[in-house]
Chain A
């Protein structure tokens, strides 16, 4: 029998930050409501209280809430909160799927952040450019995809803003590892792949990575189960 605890448990840093932000905002709102209701004279005590309510606590909410928010935006669950991403995220989460996205998502190094791990920009300001691109995603979602079907049907094919770089693959799949170099198809294009002239995605195509995506000829929806298929 599973017993649900009466008090929400905090297991992660993100949850701790969110709890801290909520507590700080509660204290701040208490102080502000007290001031609005009582309208005390601006004596020393009132100024100190308002400094906490208008400065210290809101700054705490901002810091902890922003960090928690940014951390949450790394998760696949966040990506899937836009319905057009469901063909991608549901496939990645499917334990029976053999797509590259699903296989990588089952790897502990990717886990819940598999979308971000592959699609984030890197280099010095990579995190910032990734977030800016996120704003671009939101803009296009609101202007072009908001009225599409439950899995994004009827919208324009979703595509990447820039070609997927080989370095995103070779960060882990080293082109010097014996397991990589012994593959016949790799040997013939070794230098081209290392220079980026031949893309990994030229052979490991999109339909093998995100098979349910409309852009790769998918239906968007999960495949019918065996039981329903036999009916």
Chain B
């Protein structure tokens, strides 16, 4: 079941994957050796595309209101859904 936590995790994975991708590309720019260039243009592009796809997926899920009624630990700082009339919520 997809929850707000899943969305946060998608963003986290996307962030880490982007950092790896950028690292490969920067290394290839600074040290343009054949093997590094090939790694940057293959793995770097792959990771970058994957991370953007994951982030866009997270955004789409968030915009659809997925996990709006989840009771997630407040210390994670997630947005709480607005209170609805007649809804019963736990503590």
A contact set with B: CB distance below 8 Å:
18, 21-22, 25, 28-29, 32, 35-36, 39-43, 47, 50-51, 53-55, 58-59, 61-62, 65-66, 68-69, 72-73, 78, 81-82, 134-135, 137-138, 141-142
Given contacts A29-B22, A58-B18, contact A50 B38 (CB under 8 A): no
Per the bound structure, the CA–CA distance linking A19 and B28 in Å amounts to 13
Which residues in B have their C-beta under 8 angstroms from that of A28? Answer: 18, 22
Main secondary structure of the interface of B (DSSP, over half): helix
Those 7 A-B pairs whose CB atoms lie nearest each other, nearest first? A41-B77, A54-B55, A25-B22, A72-B32, A65-B25, A32-B15, A58-B48
By a CB distance below 8 angstroms, the chain A residues around B44 are 62
Q: A22-B26, A81-B33, A141-B34 are in contact. List 11 more A-B contacts (CB 8 A).
A: A21-B29, A35-B11, A41-B77, A42-B62, A50-B15, A51-B55, A61-B26, A69-B29, A82-B34, A137-B34, A138-B38
Task: Return chain B residues, CB-CB under 8 Å to A135.
Answer: 38
Contact call B78/A41, Cβ cutoff below 8 A: yes
Decide if A65 touches B52 in the complex (CB within 8 Å): no
| B8:A58 contact, CB within 8 angstroms | no
With both chains docked as a complex, state the minimum distance between the C-beta of A111 and any C-beta of chain B, in angstroms: 18
